[in-house]
Structures are given as C-alpha cells and as structure tokens.
Amino acid sequence: MTMFTRNDKGQDTASPATAQPVRSDAQPAASPVAETRRPQAQPISSSSAAHGTPSVSVISKALKITGQLESTEDIQIEGEIEGDVRAVSVMVGANAKVKGTVRGDQVQLAGQVEGKIEAKKVILTRTARMSGDVVHQDITIESGAFIDGHCRPEYGKAEVKAPGLKTVVAGS
Amino acid sequence: MAAFANLSKPQARGRKPEPLPLSQLGAAALVKGVLDTDGEVEIHGTVQGRINADSLILGAMGNVEGDIVARDVRILGRLMGRIFALNVTLEDSADVTGRIFHNTVTVARGARFEGRMPWRPPSYFEALDQLPETQP
C-alpha cells in the first residue's frame, strides 16, 4: 500500500478527477488519498451500500432465485424461489412463491409454498397457500389459510434433524 | 434470459411510474444458483452462480463466484468470474479476478483487478443471449 500512495502523490496534481490537487502535495501522503477517494465512490449509488452492510436479506418481487438460499440471519421473500431456503426467520410475503423446502426457527407464510416447511414455529396467515407437509413444534393457522398436506408436530425429533444453522457459512 | 431483454429496452422500463423494488442479500446470506431480476440488487453476502439484473451493487462484504450480467455494475467487494455490463465501476475496495466485458469502465485507485477487460459496443450487450465460453 505504501508503495502506491507514494506513486499517487505525483499523479494527484495531474488528475482532473481529484478535488483538492493543491492540498495533496502539502499533506502527508495517506490522508489526501483517502479524502479524494470518497466522493468518487458515489456515482451509481442509490441505496444503503454506502452506510454499512445489512444482514437481513430481502428478495423483492422482481427477483427470482433458482437454487439454494441460506442465511444465518433473517430472510424476507417477496419474489420467487425455486430451491431450498434456510434461515433463522423466514417471511414469505403475500405475492411470493417458493418451490422447495423452507427451514428455520420461525417461518411466517403469507404467500405460496410448494414443498415443505420445517420450523419450530410456523405461522400460516390468511393468504397462505401451502402445498406440502409442515413439520413444526408450534403452529398458527389463521382462518382462510390453505393447506394441502400433513401437519406433523415432529420438529426437532429424531427423524427430522434441526436445521443446523451453525454450519451455514456466512458471507466473508 | 430476462436480463438480456432489459438491456435492449431501457426506455420502456424508465417510463414505468414506480421503480422496481430493491433486492438485497444480507452479509449472512449464501446463494448457490441463479439470481434473476429486472430491477436493482445489492449483494452483501456470498453468491455462487450467476446473477442477471438491471443494476447490481456488490458491497464491500460481498463475494461472488460466477458471472454477472447487468446494465450497470458497481463492485466494492470480491468477484471471481466475469462481468457482462455496459457500465462497470470498480471501487477502491474491489477485488476482481476474471474478465470484464464492458462498454465503459471506471477503476478507482486502490482497486485490485486481475484479468482482461475486453471492450464491446452496446449492440454486443443487446444481442447477448448466450454467454460466450471463456477461460477466466
């Protein structure tokens, strides 16, 4: 890094993109480089990329995932997923569609799932459409919810293993 | 393939009253497979596979192994694979290995890039309906 900052010093004054060409000569090498970089980091930015990294995942209605989705945090799904989902808390929104197994500590379903739900706590809201089995410890079914499948209170028992969230590799 | 259709008609999308919602993949998330969206997506977690989007931001904690196809791409994190995009920006924290097929590209001082950056005319991206085979 030190090698580059040394080289930068000479180029700073020549570069039209840098905001403070005069100051960069007078100051120690590291700080003007850091200052002049920041403004450049904004051109396409329209969202939270600049302020910290969120841990919650939001799959919006325009997004479709084909494959496996895992998280050690919460996931909110409004789009379409073909594949398995695993997270601490999964919320499947009213217009969302999941084909596959949804696993988690808590699963709240307002949309459509074709497959299976395995969760400690399952909430099927009025708009839920569930085709497949639900393996749970604690279930709430609101009036209006649709289920085609078995509900078995066997979550955490021998045949159904706990989700094993600790094995999920977080983004590094 | 929806992502490619986007590239050819950006005006049609611009006329829509409400912008497509933002999708975001948190730092704790891992996706193995294909992400396909007509809107904007922010990746802060790990993706192994392919991403089709209109606009993509790969956050500083993000990590993608695979191909990215979009109109605008902004990279702050790690990518191993290829980018096919009209406008590509590598920020100072970017760490990219692979190829960047672009029409315009910006590389911030401090970004790490290893590989090739082939320039392509806009028509290349409009006509792109199958990704070429290359060895990154």
pLDDT, mean over chain B? 86
Q: Which is higher by pLDDT, A68 or A51?
A: A68
Sorting pLDDT into bands at 50, 70 and 90, what band is A8? very low
Number of C-beta neighbours around residue B119 at 10 A: 11
Q: Interhelix angle for A30-40 vs A2-14, to 10°?
A: 70
Does B36 contact A66 at a Cβ distance shorter than 8 Å? yes
Report phi then psi at A129, rounded to 5.
Answer: -130, 110
**Given this model, what pLDDT does residue B129 score?**
76
A35 CA to centre of own chain: 31
- The answer to whether the Cβ–Cβ distance between B33 and A72 falls below 8 Å is no
Domain-located, residue B64: yes
* Cβ-defined contact of A37 to B76 (cutoff 8 Å): no
In a domain, B15, yes or no: no
Residue B53 lies in a domain: yes
Cα–Cα distance between B51 and B3 in angstroms, integer? 9
pLDDT of residue B18: 61
Question: Looking at this predicted complex, what is its ipTM?
Answer: 0.80
Q: Which of A54, A156, A30 is nearest to A104 (CA)?
A: A156
pLDDT of residue B132: 81
Q: Is the pLDDT of residue A106 over 70?
A: yes
Q: Is the confidence at residue A46, as pLDDT, over 70?
A: no
Q: With 60 as the cut, is the pLDDT of residue A18 above it?
A: no
Q: What is the DSSP string of B5-38?
A: HHHH-HHHHHTSSSPPPPEEE-TTEEEEEEEEES
Phi and psi, residue A46, nearest 5°: -135, 5
Q: Do A63 and B37 touch (CB under 8 A)?
A: yes
Better pLDDT: A160 or B117: B117
**Contact assessment for residue A127 and residue A85, using Cβ atoms and an 8 Å cutoff:** no
> What torsion do the CA atoms of B73, B77, B82, B88 make, to the nearest 10 degrees?
30
Residue B47 maps to a domain: yes
What is the SS3 assignment for A117? strand
Does the pLDDT at position B19 exceed 70?
no
Q: What is the pLDDT of residue B42?
A: 94
Spell out which residues of chain A touch residue B67, defining contact as CB-CB under 8 Å. Answer: none
- Please check whether residue A57 touches B, CB under 8 A: yes
C-alpha separations of B46 from A91, B35, B77 in Å: 20, 12, 10
Q: How confident is the model at residue A122 (pLDDT cuts 50, 70, 90)?
A: very high
pLDDT digits (tens, 9 = 90+) for B60-109: 999 999 999 999 999 999 999 999 999 999 999 999 999 999 999 999 99
Domain span at residue B72 reads: 2-7+22-124
Domain assignment of residue B14, yes or no: no
The CA distance from B133 to the nearest CA of chain A, in Å, is 21
Q: How confident is the model at residue A41 (pLDDT cuts 50, 70, 90)?
A: very low
User: In chain A, what residues touch B109 (CB-CB under 8 Å)?
Assistant: 4, 8, 33, 37
Residue B75 neighbours by CB under 8 Å, 6+ apart:
B58, B83, B88, B89, B90, B91, B94, B96, B111
In a domain, B36, yes or no: yes
Residue A142 pLDDT level (bands cut at 50, 70, 90): very high
Question: Above 50 in pLDDT, residue A35?
Answer: no
Mean pLDDT of chain A: 75
Q: How confident is the model at residue A158 (pLDDT cuts 50, 70, 90)?
A: low
Q: Count Cβ atoms below 10 Å from residue B103 Cβ, excluding itself.
A: 16
Contact (CB, 8 A) for B17 and A41: no
> Which residues in chain A have their CB less than 8 angstroms from residue B40's CB?
46-47
Q: How high is the pLDDT of residue B88? A: 96
A119 interfacial to chain B (CB closer than 8 Å):
no
Residue B70 lies in a domain: yes
**At residue B100, what are phi and psi to the nearest 5 degrees?**
-120, 105
Q: Among residues of chain A, what percentage have pLDDT more than 90?
A: 56
* Residue B40 included in any domain: yes
All residues of chain B having their beta carbon less than 8 Å from the beta carbon of residue A71 are: 26, 28-30, 45
Q: With residue A89 as reference, give the H or E element that holds it.
A: strand A89-92
Number of domains into which chain B is organized: 1
